[in-house]
Chains A and B, each alone.
Chain A
Amino acid sequence: MTTSAIVDMITVVIDGFEVSVPKGTLVIRAAEQLGIQIPRFCDHPLLDPVGACRQCLVDIEINGRAFPKPQASCTIPVEPGMIVKTQLTSAVADKAQKGVMELLLINHPLDCPVCDKGGECPLQNQAMSTGRTETRFEGVKRTFEKPINISSQVLLDRERCVLCARCTRFSDQIASDPFITLNERGALQQVGIYEKQPFKSYFSGNAVQICPVGALTGASYRFRARPFDLVSTPSACEHCASGCDMRTDVRRGKTLRRLAGDDASVNEEWNCDKGRWAFKYVTAVDRLTHPLVRNGAGVLVQASWPEALAAAAKGLKENTSAVLVGGRATYEDAYGYSKFARVGLGTNDVDFRSRLSSDEECEFLAAYVVRTSTTYRDIDRADQVLLVGFEPEEESPIVFLRLNKQFRKRALKVTAIASKLSIGVEKLKGDFVKVAPGQEAAAVAKQTLNAKSIILVGERACESAGLLTAVAALADSTGAKIAWIPRRAGERGALEAGAIGNLLPGGRPVADAAARVDIAAVWGVPSLPTTIGRSSDEIFAAVNAGTVGALLVGGVDPLDGLHSDDALRALDKAFVVALEIAPSEVTMRADVVLPVAAITEKSGSFLNWEGRARSFDAAVHDSLNRSDLRILSMIAQEMGTSLNLGTVTAAAKEITSLGAWDGERATMTSVSPAQAPSVSGDQFILTSWRRLLDLGTLQQGEENLAGTARQTVAVISPGRAKSMGVVDGELLKISTSHGSVTLAALVEDIHDDAIWAPRNSRGSQLLVNLGIGHGDVVTVVKI
């Protein structure tokens, strides 16, 4: 689809130079086109103009008529016949800017030497360009107590604040979390929070990043480094499938902070707090650093690499083996696992879905997702967006920001099919189609979409039988585009890399002989296994049944599945080779543990939900840890086969040389929805999802971030609350035959039959505690 929008161009003269810019461009940005930097604080290209700081004053005349006084260039769009004189050519503008700079500094503390921002501070830099060398202010500065916490992870120094309102405008206009505002007036004006509602926004770190002074600082980074001691590396976020561009700042081999990078087509200039602050797991004290091998006494002991590789190869070779790779592998690593299963182990038993999954999903992914591309740009152009099994704010926050942008800009219609109204959907003023858990398919079938609509399907859609079938049918009948948005950063890459039982790399169906020949030729092997591979759950079951004897496991948490008891039993039973960064439920049961590099220690790429690749280099160079890919190659070598994937570059090259499958796309078998379970008395149907900030492995060790997680609650409807005599805050015990959790009640907009609780939050790890996640009946009693 090509759109050739005709843009009206306007030519203006700035400091004697002509420049043509699209209609609506602000003067300050037109000047940027010429390389003329007008100093500014409150101006931010992604926020609405406010004209508050007055730093960007310039002289303007239009068709010979001059404004009587200098104008804020950040608020005035260009007009035909406009002549602008900036500080470079107008003495008035120059004095105005110097005057404002002087005023900004009178109440600013001279604490640059101890300020985190010192060295990368717009105020410091512009004070150099536009300020006086010596102060004329001999009076008393305004003082405040400093710093104060406005959340557990954001600190506010009100003395340093220049009141540009970037932070408050970001929170309001971009995140729709107006939890910080400007309070008081005059020079006592200050950023503040409502005392009962701290700055608990998933996006609060952006406010810190765009603060043009050191007023907002992150608690975890405060006083840790000077900017000029940091080495910055462009990176990709490993936390979710949004695909953010990031920057990782490292000091002496240690990651000290991560910032949102600029990618206008993906995250613009934003990211979420998890992506920004959850990186301590990399430097956790219990990181695995040496290979471990279980000795004759059954104890894991440190071993040399040759020893460990030999043990791993032996165990995998002697048994019928399968591969489990979590959804966090890079594209290249996933490709390595995919190839290793086929070439090294001769099986299609490889699955990246370390979570709830279904066969329906496998077929849906093959038929509707792999090799397709729906993009952020499509959201920008969509006439409406349908959310199915997907809570954007919790599960892919940058998708939420994009939806929110379009909602605020043009009232984009968002419809959510779910059992509970989420905070995110509420912010998007979305249509909430309320269904009982498990009955989503029928509601999907009733939606009226068209070719300009988009269906955003979350990974949880597989938890409701027939739902993906209904989504496929809706897309087929209306022409709406499907985008599948998994939670984890590596899942889309793993899908494209064929780390799943029914697909080979490039979306080639395993069942298609021509596809197998294609791959076999490139891989230089006579043939590839023909049996469709099994899912993670089926593989665990096979181990327990004795038909699979060894597992190669990378980055999997067995507690993320529906049958964690079975999984743990299988891990106990099988010969397990674990590739991990830190001790886990898998490594403690493994026979060989091979330490691998964390994301900042290796290069690679992620494919985000769009299928867009973002590659990155190692940010930490002196790590001794190797990538999964390298280790897989070494095991294969030891087994007597060759992966020929010694480096990430080699893998990337091979993936490119494979290309995408141009043959027939696999089709999907229809699955019927399940009957709604009937609930009565104290019974409810459970529904849940993971929150952005929860007990996720990669958030470990970051307490400041954890402090802003949403409260763990169990949500029931007003009707059921009334009949149960329950009010907010009272405790509810939710039980299944498997176990129970006790949570504080919250009465909200949810289907009468349903009860919602977070899937993996403090006090509510439903898959472990209850053994279920969505659509099954629980008993709830007030205690």
Chain B
Amino acid sequence: MSKLTPVLSAHWDEKDSFTIEAYTRHGGYSAAKKALAMEPDAVIQLVKDSGLRGRGGAGFPTGMKWGFIPQGDNKDHYLVVNADESEPGTCKDMPLLMANPHVLVEGCIIACHAIRAKHAFIYIRGEVTHVVRRLNQAIEDAYKAGHLGNGVDVVLHVGAGAYICGEETALLDSLEGFRGQPRLRPPFPAIAGLYARPTVVNNVESISAVPAIINNGAEWYQSMGTEKSKGATLYSLSGHVNNPGQFEAPLGITLREILELAGGIRTGHTLKFWTPGGSSTPIFTQDHLDTPLDYEGVAAAGSMLGTKALQIFDETTCVVRAVLRWTEFYKHESCGKCTPCREGTWWLVQILRDLEAGKGTEADLAKLLDLCDNIMGRSFCALGDGATSPITSSIKYFRDEYIAHMTQGGCPFDPVASTLFVGAGV
């Protein structure tokens, strides 16, 4: 198990890991105390030095983002934590908040100090009631213990179940009470974010990584990871693996290594394709088992590290079917603001349904790719881009399988074979 570097997840296996007692027992809130004694700029510098990059998907350097907030402008500043984890396959923030909510609260205190904010808002997706309860309790306990309320207040805001609200500006609109639709940038949130005030929007995991960096120093964090992708992160493994779950490991680990830790692919099966960072990132195949899973390594192989949501599909899975399901998700979640995403996903689903049903032609495949070309990079935000990724990448690697649907007049796969209950006599 030497590959793992549990920091955030170090005590998840303890029964009471989510309580303030357990968190304090393991040295919790000492980082906040240490940071509050530092100059805000020194905190920002420390985070910059650590090399921490945004864990929400884009990988933007966290310290640099904090540094964009204008100082001494006599305006309120806000920290907004993006806990609207909705990307298909992504399941890191919710388990983290279930098992260790206080690390986020402590991270908020430190980040607010650094960016001179008095208020942090945590925007959490609406469907995860159990996580909301747990985080609420943690915030309440932190207030009782005096960690919150003395200069920093944390407000937990529960979303209403829209994928688009994970986009940071749509999140801000939703937080302000408007419909969640992305905003025109500039102005960027650092200049005019929440309520038109300078705002930092960070992912749960990015903020949660901060207390350990404060306690252990930038060098400690730098000692993990690769040249440009420092530190450790949570990889969420799901799908056709024997032991799915969250694996906290240094950036740059490979899927082959993680699979070993996870007990391998479903017994008796082989890896067919996988996503490195959720459904919006172009898929990989077994050719990419040794691709280093850091920002640069994945990008060089033609995809994105994204949220490090490793969805594993074995050879029983029909790639066309999987892609159709994802595309239906994007169609459902398109906010409607811009034409390419709104109309494009409406059309993509119809073509893919025909293809899956064996009613398509090669011309349809060409049309599908051309359509993706007209959506990718043409939409208002990244949702439209994300919708095309599984389609274009799957055609790139599995064109034959699409053709097989046409020649056989339907799907060549038995959908039951890919389920967990196959052979259970259901």
Contacts and interface: CB of A to CB of B under 8 A. Distances in A.
Given A69-B378, A99-B374, A139-B350, A185 B340 contact: no
B184 interface: yes
Contacts of B338: 51-54
Contacts of B337: 52, 163, 189
Contact of A140 (B179, B345, B350, B374): B350
Interface in A73-127: 75, 95-96, 99-100, 102-104, 106-107
Interface string A242-283: 000000000000000000000000000000000000000000
Contacts of A186: 331-336, 342, 345-346
Contacts of A53: 338-339
Contacts of B351: 139
Interface string A139-150: 110100000000
A648 B419 CA distance: 87
B188 interface: no
A315 interface: no
A100 B340 CA distance: 6
B361 to A, nearest CB: 11
A185 B162 contact: yes
B393 interface: no
B378 A104 contact: no
B377 A68 contact: yes
A136 B346 contact: no
Contacts of A51: 184, 338, 380
B290 interface: no
A100 B378 contact: yes
A50 B184 contact: yes
Interface in B331-369: 331-340, 342-347, 350-351, 367
B305 to A, nearest CB: 18
Contacts of A142: 346
A103 B374 contact: yes
Contacts of B332: 186
Contacts of A70: 377-378
Nearest to B343: A103
Contacts of A139: 347, 350-351
A757 B337 CA distance: 43
B364 to A, nearest CB: 9
Interface string B146-166: 000000000000000010100
A186 B336 CA distance: 4
A494 interface: no
Contacts of B334: 185-187
Nearest to A102: B374
Contacts, number: 97
Contact of B339 (A50, A75, A100, A181): A100
A70 B347 CA distance: 22
A106 B371 CA distance: 12
B380 A52 contact: yes
B378 A57 contact: yes
Given A51-B184, A75-B184, A137 B347 contact: yes
B336 A103 contact: no
A103 B377 contact: no
Contacts of A182: 179, 336
B379 A49 contact: no
Among A100, A136, A185, A189, chain B packs the most CB atoms within 10 A around the CB of A185
Interface string B300-338: 000000000000000000000000000000011111111
B337 to A, nearest CB: 5
Contact of A163 (B164, B342, B371, B378): B342
Contacts of B342: 163, 186-187, 189
A430 B279 CA distance: 51
Contacts of B371: 99
A55 interface: yes
A12 to B, nearest CB: 18
A98 to B, nearest CB: 8
A140 B346 CA distance: 9
Contacts of A107: 343, 346
B96 to A, nearest CB: 29
A136 B367 contact: yes
Given A107-B343, A142-B346, A163-B342, A187 B378 contact: no
Among B337, B344, B345, chain A packs the most CB atoms within 10 A around the CB of B337
A57 B380 CA distance: 11
A107 B339 CA distance: 11
A186 B180 CA distance: 12
B373 interface: yes
A370 interface: no
Size bracket, chain A contacts: 35 or more
Nearest to B353: A139
Contacts of A106: 343, 346-347
A188 B337 CA distance: 11
A53 B339 CA distance: 5
A99 B179 contact: no
A69 B337 CA distance: 19
A69 B340 CA distance: 14
Interface string A163-201: 100000000000000000110111111000000000000
A494 B2 CA distance: 95
Given A51-B184, A96-B374, A96-B378, A184 B336 contact: yes
Interface in B124-142: none
B336 A189 contact: yes
B425 to A, nearest CB: 38
A569 to B, nearest CB: 60
A104 B179 contact: no
Interface in B77-124: none
A162 interface: yes
A76 to B, nearest CB: 10
Nearest to A141: B346
Contacts of A137: 347
B335 A54 contact: no
Nearest to A51: B184
Contacts of A55: 339
B184 A103 contact: no
Contacts of A162: 339
A57 B376 CA distance: 13
A26 to B, nearest CB: 12
Contacts of A181: 179
Nearest to B385: A69
B331 A103 contact: no
Nearest to B346: A187
A513 B378 CA distance: 75
B340 A99 contact: yes
Contacts of A136: 367
A165 to B, nearest CB: 8
Contacts of B343: 103-104, 106-107, 187
Nearest to B351: A139
Contacts of A96: 374, 378
Contacts of B373: 95, 99
Contact of A69 (B339, B345, B367, B377): B377
A89 B182 CA distance: 30
B166 to A, nearest CB: 14
Contacts of A187: 331, 334, 336, 342-343, 345-346
A96 B337 CA distance: 17
A106 B162 CA distance: 25
Contacts of B331: 186-187
Contacts of B333: 185-186
A51 B339 CA distance: 10
12 contacts: A70-B378, A95-B374, A96-B378, A99-B371, A103-B344, A106-B343, A139-B347, A162-B339, A184-B336, A186-B346, A187-B334, A187-B346
Cβ-closest 8 pairs across A and B: A99-B374, A189-B336, A69-B377, A139-B350, A103-B343, A186-B334, A187-B346, A185-B336
Given A51-B380, A54-B378, A189-B342, 12 more contacts: A49-B184, A50-B184, A68-B377, A100-B340, A107-B343, A139-B350, A185-B333, A185-B334, A185-B336, A186-B345, A187-B331, A187-B342
